[in-house]
Amino acid sequence: RQEQKRSDLDEQLREYIMEWRQQRAKEEEELKTLKEKQAKRKVSRAEEEKKLAQKKKEEEERRQREI
């Protein structure tokens, strides 16, 4: 009787650990995806800022030539 109870508890614990591992793997995958999106946004933002700086520089040079 005591042995059966212990066996049941062991089985419950195994199932709980298995579910926890699956949940953790899912969360890690989501985090990885979010980090990838963040990195892509960072690259896009840097490119936009570079284009804007270039445009500003060209406009400034054009103004200097007009003077």
H helix intervals, 1-67: 2-66
What is the residue-averaged pLDDT of the chain?
A: 96
Q: Which pLDDT tens digit goes with each residue over 26-58?
A: 999 999 999 999 999 999 999 999 999 999 999
Rounded Cα–Cα distance for residues 20 and 13 (Å) = 10
Cα torsion at 59, 61, 66, 67 (round to 10°)?
Answer: 120
Distance between alpha carbon 43 and the CA centroid of its chain, in Å?
14
Going from N- to C-terminal start, the domains of the chain cover 1-66
- Residue 66: its pLDDT value, please? 86
The structure tokens listed for 36 are 């990838």
Report percent pLDDT > 70 for the chain: 100
